[in-house]
Amino acid sequence: MTNTDSEVLIKVVDLHKSFGELDVLKGVNTEIHKGEVVSLMGPSGGGKSTFLRCLNLLEKPEKGSVFFEGEDITKIKKQKDLDKIRQKIGMVFQQFNVFPHLTALENITITMTLEKKIPKAEADKIAMDLLEKVGIPDKAEEYPGKLSGGQKQRLAIVRAMAMEPDVMLFDEPTSALDPEMVKEVLMVIKQLADSGMTCVIVTHEMGFIKEVSDRILFIDEGIILEQGTPEEIFNNPKSDRVKDFLGKVLY
């Protein structure tokens, strides 16, 4: 755990979220440090994705706080201020959510030009460099309908990167992919993590979690049941619930 001494980027305090009668998060507390790669593990419906979506307020928590770079973003009143914060929190979705009516290049540049007022030529150049980095510069003028799932997800990743975020959130980024496309997407995420990007990742790819994470949070029934290094969680889990879970998912 090399990064725990560095600056706290995100601090979550007593986070509660429910959907109607269903309490999904029941008091989550944690700190995510700059440069840290944190993976969320646990059974489906345990609250991993909801937790992730609370970090950029796609879900509004009922109770508790999310501090981003020292500011409690749950207290932000002005929509514009929240938009500015969200530009610094990149998110990648299970279903890619690339914009089908825009070319790959436009998918990346549209928010840069609209919200950051970056001149089009400059935005195009940044976008081309990013497409180059993930190996699809030849798809710049293509619409997403012509891209494979893996290419769409790589596009979605660099679309978020173009906003120069301080943290990237990955919500099951490979769960909707054909098996042979999983690796190309994981490699891009790994590259990002290795480059020092702070990452919070929800995934069921156990091998990947083990390799890439600085810290694993095991989330079940709306709380962090256990946390530790991959070593600690995989080789020496404390709670029976984690042992049970790992016993079922590891082949």
Under rule CB under 8 A, residue 13 binds other proteins: no
Under rule CB under 8 A, residue 114 binds other proteins: yes
Distance separating alpha carbons of residues 164 and 181, to the nearest angstrom? 25
Among positions 45-64, residues that touch other proteins (CB under 8 A) are 56, 58
Nearer CB in complex with other proteins: 168/225 = 168
CB of 8 to other proteins, least distance (A): 22
Under rule CB under 8 A, residue 138 binds other proteins: no
Distance separating alpha carbons of residues 29 and 31, to the nearest angstrom? 7
What burial class does residue 199 get, using C-beta atoms within 10 Å of its C-beta: 0-12 exposed, 13-18 middle, 19+ buried? Answer: buried
Which stretch in 41-49, 88-96, 187-195, 216-224 sits in contact with other proteins by CB under 8 A?
88-96
Strand partners, 38: 200, 215
Closest CA to 158 of 111, 222, 120: 111
Instruction: Convert residues 160-179 into a mask of x (bound to other proteins by CB under 8 A) and - (unbound).
Output: x--x----------------
| Binding-residue total with other proteins (CB under 8 A) | 32
Q: Could you say which of 115, 166, 221, 232 contacts other proteins (CB under 8 A)?
A: 115
Q: How many other CB atoms are found less than 10 A from the CB of residue 187?
A: 14
- Cα dihedral 167→172→177→179 (10° resolution): 110
Q: Which residues form the interface with other proteins (CB under 8 A)? A: 56, 58, 79-80, 83-91, 93, 95, 97-101, 110-111, 114-115, 143-146, 156, 159-160, 163
